[in-house]
Amino acid sequence: MGNTMQKSEETKVQEPGLLRQEDSNFTCEICTEPMLAIRKFKNGSLCKHPFCLDCIAKYIEVTVEESTGCIECPGLNCKQPLDPLSCRRIISKPIFEKWCDHLCDSTVLGSESCYCPYRDCSVLVLNECMDNLKKIKCPNCKKNFCFLCKIPWHAGYRCNESRHLRDRNDILVGELIEEKRWTRCYNCGHSVERVSGCRDIKCNSIQPCSQKVSSIQNDSKDLELYSMWGSVLPSMWRTIPFRSL
């Protein structure tokens, strides 16, 4: 009888503790598995979304490999950043250091910097004067590249066309267009060269688009300073039979 009473009292003492442990358990919003409270990730005081440590660690690892600086909480519609210090103990040292590097690049340098696109170089290039740069020369390898596109210099091609470059011949043609200072029809992309006559032209490529191309206002100015009216006899201009983009 005495043993029965003692066992009943022990059960009453343990029940409150068991209830508190059950209340603190949670379901991870990523893997949807039930988890113990000790497996819950705590994002400092920023947000309280229930994620397990393993899922958050994997999420950070994948996001860091995508070269992202600030990593947002994966919670639905949550824009709070993950606290790097809160995450440090659950991710590897190389991942944490890489994350810190990305944070430094994105926070301090912002959009006014890029890495040299050539694989044998890849140094960080800064726009220290905050100028509207386009074509620049890497201070390390001395090669030209486009600061806006962040790719090797696409001579003769506009930035919105550079992604369509298909082979080395495209690059060589572009360099020739830039060297000869040929202008191009804004509609079909064909290059033309003025042989004689005035500075106005109506496009007359193999597949005529009838677009009025432009006229140079001053011989000393760059060929991009063109207006969009007027036309002359096609014989005064020569269409350069290069493949248009």
pLDDT digits (tens, 9 = 90+) for 64-100: 988 777 889 998 888 898 988 889 999 999 999 999 8
User: Is 53's pLDDT higher than 70?
Assistant: yes
User: If residue 17 lies in a helix (H) or strand (E), which one and from where to where?
Assistant: helix 2-24
Residue 223: alpha-carbon gap to chain centroid: 31
CB atoms within 10 A of CB 146: 20
Q: What are phi and psi of 126, to 5 degrees?
A: -110, 145
Q: Is residue 7 a part of any domain in this protein?
A: no
Q: What is the mean pLDDT of the chain?
A: 69
CATH number of residue 79's parent domain: 3.30.40.10
Q: Is residue 5 a part of any domain in this protein?
A: no
Tokens 């979304």 locate to 49
28/12 Cα distance (integer angstroms): 31
Q: CB-based burial of residue 207 (10 Å sphere; 0-12 exposed, 13-18 middle, 19+ buried)? A: exposed
Q: Is residue 183 a part of any domain in this protein?
A: yes
Q: Is the dihedral of CA 83, 86, 91, 97 positive or negative?
A: positive
Q: Is residue 1 a part of any domain in this protein?
A: no
pLDDT tens-place string over residues 95-129: 999 998 888 877 665 557 788 888 888 888 877 66
Same domain, 139 and 184: no
Q: Is residue 157 a part of any domain in this protein?
A: no
Q: Is residue 180 a part of any domain in this protein?
A: yes
Q: Is residue 118 a part of any domain in this protein?
A: yes
220/199 Cα distance (integer angstroms): 13
Domain housing 230: 162-240
**Long-range pairs of 57-66 with CB within 8 A, sequence gap ≥ 24:** 57/87, 57/90, 57/91, 59/30, 60/87, 60/91, 60/95, 60/99, 61/91, 61/92, 61/95, 64/95, 64/98, 64/99, 64/102
Nearest to 235 by CA among 207, 193, 177: 193
Specify the higher pLDDT residue, 15 or 63.
Answer: 63
Same domain, 98 and 25: yes
- Under a CB-based contact definition with an 8 Å cutoff, are residues 154 and 162 in contact? yes
Q: Is residue 11 a part of any domain in this protein?
A: no
pLDDT tens-place string over residues 188-219: 666 666 666 666 666 655 454 544 444 433 33
Specify the higher pLDDT residue, 144 or 239.
Answer: 144
Query: How many folded domains does the chain comprise?
Result: 3
Lowest mean pLDDT among 26-40, 80-94, 122-136, 177-191: 177-191
Same domain, 69 and 147: no
Specify the higher pLDDT residue, 92 or 228.
Answer: 92
Same domain, 228 and 200: yes
Same domain, 102 and 118: no
Same domain, 45 and 59: yes
